Each structure stands twice: as structure tokens, then as C-alpha cells.
Chains A and B, each alone.
Chain A
Amino acid sequence: MRFTAFGVASLFALCLTIPVLAHHSHGNYDVSKWTVMEGTVKQVIFIVPHSIVYLDVKDDKGQPATWALEATNPQGIFLRGVKKEDVQVGDTIKVRCHLLRDGGKGCLLGFVTPIHGDKARGHGVEIEWD
């Protein structure tokens, strides 16, 4: 049994070390850099294979624009402890994500930190959404 347990542990460790390719290529995102953005949630769609967060973000000149933030599937998000009510329309959130390489208003999550002030809905807690 000890050998079996060791084997299972080794297999698990091996799985952790083998890079698993995602559902789709991330080549159009610059995954070498993190970008931090803060904005107001316009919509969240939990859907397979990738959920989406539409976030209104003001640029350096104060002009708002809606960004599309790509997340993982709903199960992947909820398994990390996120609840549906944690991020709602009108909430302010901070995100860390990888920008589209061509300058388009799209970003690959990344992490989401609600900053709406409601601790019961995860205020101030950063959770991975990818």
C-alpha cells in the first residue's frame, strides 16, 4: 500500500510538472506580462468553455472603454471558491491579466479582486479566474 501511495503521489507530482496545453492557443496574448486594471463590471457570462467579464475601464485620459476579459469555465472558477454573487454588474473589481498583443481591448485572466467593500462577497480577496 505504501508503494501504491507513493506511486499515486509520484504520478500527481509528474502531472504538476508537465505543462498542459489549454483549450486554445494563447499566442495572441502577451503572457510574459501582467497588466493590472480596475473598472466597473458591465456583465459577467459564465459559460463553457470560457467565461467572460465585460469591464468598463477608464484610460489615462479618463475616457471609458469596455474590455473583454477571458476567464476559464464556470466550474473552474467556482472550484476556487468564487460564488456567483461575488462579482455583479456595477461592482468595482481589480484584475491582473495578459493583454492582447495587438493592442485590442481584450485580456486573458488572470486574477480578479472584488473591491466593492462587501467582505461577504469576497472584497479584497484575489482569486484566480483562469
Chain B
Amino acid sequence: MRVMIPAALILALSQPAIAQDWARFVSPEDGFSSNYPGQPKIETITYTSQFQQPLPAKVYRAADALGRYSTTVVDYRNIEKLHADRAAKCQAAKGANQLDGDTCQNDFRMDVAGATDYAVWNLIKQDGIKLTSYMFYFVELVSGRLLQITNADKSRTFAAVHQHAGRLYIHQATVPSGMPEPILFMQSLAWADEKGLAIRYRTMYTEGYGEWKFPSPLPPHTVRDLTTSIDGTVIRPPAR
């Protein structure tokens, strides 16, 4: 269910001058809310993860005289099974070449832990752009990254990338050269529960981790000499 809050609830003071008909849009099913200029159009796509897993995704798009706005929501919640199936299939085929022990590695954790980095990489790898700002960022204490880019044509792109509750969010806006920065859109992102209510964390939320603490207790680990295998059981011959 999607909820479009009536524009009457939005207190617009002045006559529309540049930005028009902005309203709050809530998507409980995709776990977010944001402001758009009117009702966003929704496109269903397949997003390819860093480790080449096809994932269901939706792009919420809108535009006005000032620029173009989109929120891409990628559903990672089934990715553990996708990787497990791939690894099992590889193992059943006894690997691709029988020589490389990493052939059938399950990259589930890598794919989830690196989802933000991969999304950022896709934003910054374009030719001719200048990254003018890049930093750790949070929305309602959900951690993420914020990028500000001047594109080759001098247009400006702002993008925030977050992971929350099994989904990846890429919230971005591009405005032509000379237009005001797309702050109205960028700062409107929030998280929604199944009823559409806003979620606010009391401590920093980072996907895959529990409560944020600093300094944090060390997670379970082993200690080894680097000449032994990862689990500490196999002693490798000294390097020559």
C-alpha cells in the first residue's frame, strides 16, 4: 500500500515560483518516505549486485523545473539464498576448474556489506565528473554516504546511499547548472514502517551490525600466525 498525503496538509506559503506541488510520498512496502514534486512514477527494474546477483528493485522518479529526482530501492532480502544456491550449484559441478579453492565461495556477506560501496562506485566512475563532496552521512541515524558531484555539463548531482532493513536506497537528484542545490529533495528522505510511520533510531544503525558502540567489543575471532591457514589448523611452508 502506498500513501499519498494530501497536498493540503503541506503548508505552502507563497505563490509557486520555481518549485511546484511538492508533497510527501510514503511507501510502507518499500520502507521509505520522501518529498517529490507530485506523485512519483514507479519503474520496476532488475538491479545487478556487485557479485552479479539479479535483484528486484524499483525506481521512484519525478521532475520539475529545477531538476530530476529519483529514489532507487533495491531488495537484498533474498540475496543469502541466491548466493547459497549459486555456491551449491558450483560445488555440485565440482567447481569451474578444480584448481581454485575460491571458485565456489559464497559471497553473500561481501555482497551485502559492500552494497553501499558498489552503489557509490557506480555513481562516481563516470567520465568527466568532479566529486566535490563525499562523506559519511545519516538519516534518522541510519548510516550511509552522501555525494555531491559536478557533472561534465556543469549540472549538479547530489546522492545519498543507505542500507536499511535489507534494502539499498539510492536517493539522488540532478539540477542543471545555475539552479539552486536540490536540498529540498535530498533532505526529505525518511524510513517508514509497515504502517507508513517514520522510524527513528536511538543509536547509529549500520546494516549487518547491532547497536553502534565505540569502542565496540571485538566480534568473535581467532588469533593466528599468518603462516597458518585462516582457521589456524594448517601450517603452510615458509615462503621462499
Q: Taking beta carbons and an 8 Å cutoff, which residues of A are in contact with B?
A: 21, 23-25, 27-28, 41-50, 52, 54, 65-68, 70, 74, 84-85, 87-89, 100-106
- Contact across chains for A28 and B148 when beta carbons are under 8 A apart: yes
What is the CA–CA distance of A105 and B140 in the complex, to the nearest angstrom? Answer: 25
Please indicate the chain A residues that have their CB under 8 angstroms from the CB of B22 in the complex: 45, 47
Distance to closest chain B CB from A82 (angstroms) = 10
B14, B132, B140, B178: the one within 8 Å of A44 (CB): B14
Please indicate the chain A residues that have their CB under 8 angstroms from the CB of B10 in the complex: 45-47
What is the CA–CA distance of A48 and B26 in the complex, to the nearest angstrom? Answer: 12
B19 at the interface (CB under 8 A from A): yes
Please indicate the chain B residues that have their CB under 8 angstroms from the CB of A43 in the complex: 14, 16-19
Interface range, B side: 35 or more
B188 at the interface (CB under 8 A from A): yes
B19, B24, B132, B133: the one within 8 Å of A54 (CB): B19
- Contact across chains for A46 and B181 when beta carbons are under 8 A apart: no
Please indicate the chain A residues that have their CB under 8 angstroms from the CB of B18 in the complex: 42-43, 54, 66
Distance to closest chain A CB from B116 (angstroms) = 15
Distance to closest chain B CB from A108 (angstroms) = 9
Q: Which of B122-166 contact A (CB under 8 A)?
A: 132-133, 135-141, 146, 148, 156
The 5 A-B residue pairs with the shortest CB-CB distance, nearest first, are A106-B181, A102-B132, A68-B180, A46-B11, A43-B17
- Contact across chains for B11 and A84 when beta carbons are under 8 A apart: yes
Distance to closest chain A CB from B113 (angstroms) = 21
